Amino acid sequence: QVQLVESGGGLVQAGGSRRLSCVASTIIFNIHAMGWYRQASGKERELVARISSGGSTTYADFVKGRFTISRDDVNNTLYLQMNSLKPEDTAVYYCNARLFQDSWGQGTQVTVSS
Give the single-character DSSP code of 30: G
Nearest to 80 by CA among 107, 99, 98: 107
Work out whether strand 3-7 and strand 57-59 pair parallel, antiparallel, or are unpaired: unpaired
Please report, in tens digits, the pLDDT of each residue of the chain (114 residues total): 689 999 999 999 999 999 999 999 978 888 899 999 999 999 999 999 999 999 999 999 999 999 999 999 999 999 999 999 999 999 999 999 998 899 999 999 999 999
